[in-house]
Structure 1
Amino acid sequence: MDLIVSPVGADSDLRAVLEDLQMGRYASARDLLIRTSDNWSLYATRCQRLTDSVAGRGVLKMWRDEELHSAHAATVWAWSLTRGAIGLCRKGAKADVVGRAAAMAQQEWKRVDELWPRSPEPWCGRLQLSQLPYDARRFDPRWHNRREPWGTLDDPVMHLEGPWPFLAEANRRHPGSRDGHHRMREYFLRRHGASVSSQYTHWLVAGGPLNPELLVLPLYSQMDLYRERHSDGRNSALQFWQTEQMRHFATQAYDGWFAHLPPTEYAWVSPWDLNHLAHALVGCGETERAAWVFRALGPYATPQPWKDVLESLGRSRDWTDEFLRIRTTVLGRRAPW
């Protein structure tokens, strides 16, 4: 198979919409999100891919201004503003600049609340804004009357402090919100580091999440740990992927989630999830399971985690060459079909 590097994967509908945005047209984006809105995981993924392109930002703003009562236009524009505020902070912009950008995003999420109260997206967006160096309560329109604790959960195992009310709101609207839990993982990562983020994902899957997609989350946190501990390729970097813990998380995600997916749904699965799962299965030696995931991926791949691992080892070849070598080896060893 040829290799196509794309965060969109096999989602041909989304790919067509992105092409339209590049040409200044938003009607297909509106129609796609209307069709997707009952599938919150796919809706969140598609919204965020729509905001990836800086070139498309002006089109999204035009859509929002021309259709002021469109919840979908407001949602996409709110995500664009949110990601913009996060980007400014990471680039070291002045505090007042970041603060104004965050306020604009917060105001747009309030509009989405009004237009579409049942949507989990505003609460996932607020979870994203919580990464910024402010008290997260500043992003909560209900914090004066909120019953949920802002400190820790009433849970004998989970002692981490965080914006739990935002996650609770997302879960009320979409039980087991994939996007909400990913944003929570990122909150702990940005605020406290990879070890704390890893504690969160381990706690989550140990409790048997309602949404089996969440079984992939520990693979993301393991990758975060790898970047933190082995970005220079030293300290037993390769052995990191060969532990029993890694095997446990990889096979748990495969057996509890991927193995139950009908092949007709592969195109709607996050290609990032599939790439993280394939990489983890290869790393811990579960090549037969990995072969099935590579088959689901087809010709598509995302740079992470392959690129980061290859660069950490100081290897000069392109990550796509390494991906193709691994895929060919795994599928050639025992093709699953």
Structure 2
Amino acid sequence: MPDSLTTTAAPFTPQLKRGAASPDAPLIVSPVGADTDLRAALEDLKMGRYLSARDLLARTGPNWALRTIRSQLLAAGAGEPGVFKTWRDEEPNSSDAAMMWGRVLTRAALAAYRGGQSQQVVARAAGLARQALYQARVLWPACPVPWVDLLKLTQLPFAPHHFDPHAHERGMPWDASRDPAMHHRGPWPLLAEINQRHPGNREGHHRMREWFHNRSREPGAAMNYSCWLVAMGTPLNPQLQILPLYGLMDIYRKRHKDGQNGALTFWQTAQVRHYACKAYDDWFANIAPVEYPWQPLSDLSHLAHALVACGENDRAAFVFRAMGPYVTPQPWQDINASLDRSADWRDEFLRIRASVLR
């Protein structure tokens, strides 16, 4: 790795705005879903004000699942990231400010890499992100979020162990799993740090899947990881039952982005039905309806799509109702584009939802 890289509150119970899906319900495209507090904080961030985000994270406290997804969406939807630097500069001892600054710097480093910037530029951006995340983990050692973004940084073209502050203390080989059933090498120590703080952290396991998809040289590693995780019996978090559906979507994009070679039948296999029904039965079916608005909308969207595509419309109807009027573009947008459908993906989604709910 280039040298430039050297460079207790009670859990918060938020308020929700409810919505219910009906065949003719309007459509709201937003990953925020029913979290109106988060939506208000995002609007303030877009106007260069961080106080609402600061208060939101303070109220969220050590609710790690909510803290992880809220901070992820705040970083992704804030607009100008300089607002977080202002917050960090004005409150240098704030763990929330340091964590959010690390979040946006991580996004900037990945964007530089994906945008084709030079190795020197990417290394500099990665070093700044790593430095901010190291500071954030010191300010609140129990928080898993800085470790989640350190794991995310391993998608960059550098040795993954350079993003582990304890790499020199660990046994070798650094990237070997302790489970003999999992032979794929990867940034396992970073995932272990996340699980130590928040067992089954959703974003952490998604970042691990993304590492296997983007960096592993072993074919099928990402799907193997997802299937291994859900085959262990009861995962650390039942929500992780959804991971194979994301893995299947990655495979679909690679094989059928042009709509050819059996694109229409890809989702009608026994494998898709197995993982879609398993995610429904082992995760979604056990969620109390009052908790529906707090499930990640992306997970509900992927589950609804897979159930419809493999013919499980009765199950899909419950998922559509749980989504209310909200939806995320994926996977619907990419599926629609791959099949070269003339209708906008939103119109196609409304058509599918209406046909299932009637």
Q: Compute the TM-score of the two structures, normalised by the length of structure 1.
A: 0.96
| 2:138 corresponds to 1:114 | yes
Residue 88 of structure 1 corresponds to 112
Provide the secondary structure at the position in 2 that maps to 1:285. coil
> Displacement of 1:154 after TM fit?
3.1
User: Is it true that 1:305 corresponds to 2:305 in the alignment?
Assistant: no
Give the gaps of 5 or more residues in structure 1: 333-337
Deviation readout 1:211-248 (Å, 9 max, x if unpaired): 00100111111100000111111111111111111111
Aligned equivalents of 2:137, 2:321: Cα separation in 1: 40
Q: What is aligned with 1:56?
A: 80
- Kept in 1, the 8 Å contact 2:46–2:78? The answer is no
Deviates more, 1:73-82 or 1:261-270: 261-270
Q: Which gives a bigger RCO, structure 1 or 2 (Cα 8 Å, sep 6+)?
A: 2
2:32 counterpart residue number: 8
Asked whether the 8 Å contact 1:216–1:253 carries over to 2, the reply is yes
Q: Which is helix-richer, 1 or 2?
A: 1
Measured after TM superposition, the shift of residue 148 of structure 1 is: 7.0
Equivalent position amino acid for 1:275 in 2: S
2:232 is matched with which residue: 200, 207, 214?
Answer: 207
Unaligned runs of 5+ in 2: 1-24
SS of 1:309's equivalent in the other structure is helix
Q: How many Å apart are 1:297 and its aligned residue? A: 0.6
Helix, strand or coil at the partner of 2:258: coil
Which of the residues 202, 222, 226 maps onto 1:178?
Answer: 202
Q: CA RMSD in A?
A: 1.3
Letter in 1 for 2:229: L
Kindly indicate whether residue 331 of structure 2 is the aligned counterpart of residue 296 of structure 1: no
Q: Does structure 1 residue 75 correspond to structure 2 residue 99? A: yes
State the distance in 2 between where 1:148 and 1:6 align: 43
Return the offset for 1:74: 0.8
The equivalent residue for 1:126 is 150
Report what 1:271 is aligned to: 297
1:172-225 Cα distance to aligned partner (Å, 9 max, x none):
000111111011001011113772211110111001312001001111111000
> In structure 1, what is the Cα distance between the partners aligned to 2:64 and 2:274?
28
Matches within 5 A, 1:112-261: 112-147=136-171, 149-192=173-216, 195-208=220-233, 209-261=235-287
Q: Is 1:98 the equivalent of 2:122? A: yes
Letter in 2 for 1:200: Y
* One-letter amino acid of the counterpart of residue 289, structure 1: R
**Superposition misfits of 4+ residues, deviation over 4 angstroms:** none
Residues 149 and 164 in structure 1, CA contact (< 8 A), matched pair in contact too: no
CA distance in 2, matches of 1:148, 1:206: 27
Determine the C-alpha separation between the residues in 2 that align with 1:51 and 1:187.
20
8 Å CA contact 2:147, 2:194 repeated in 1: yes
Q: What CA distance in whole angstroms lies between the structure 2 residues aligned with 1:181 and 1:136?
A: 16
Post-superposition CA distance 1:235-274 (Å, at most 9, x none): 1111111111111111111111111111222222111011
Contact 1:148-1:165 at 8 Å conserved across structures: no
**1:138: how far off?**
1.0
1:39 and 2:63 equivalent?
yes
Q: Show CA shifts across 1:287-324 (max 9, x none).
A: 11100110011111111000101100111210000000
Asked whether 1:65 is paired with 2:58, we answer no
Match in the other structure for 1:320: 346
Give the corresponding residue for 1:335. Answer: none
TM-score by length of 2: 0.90
How far, CA to CA, are the matches of 1:161 and 1:201 in structure 2? 14
Offset at residue 101 of structure 1 (A): 0.2
Structure 2 residue matching 1:245: 3-state secondary structure: helix
Q: Matched residues in 1 for 2:74 and 2:230: separation?
A: 29
| 2:355 maps to 1:329 | yes
Q: Is the 1:44–1:121 Cα contact (8 Å) retained in structure 2?
A: yes
Q: Which residue of 1 aligns with 2:11?
A: none
How many Å separate the matches in 2 of 1:42 and 1:54?
A: 17
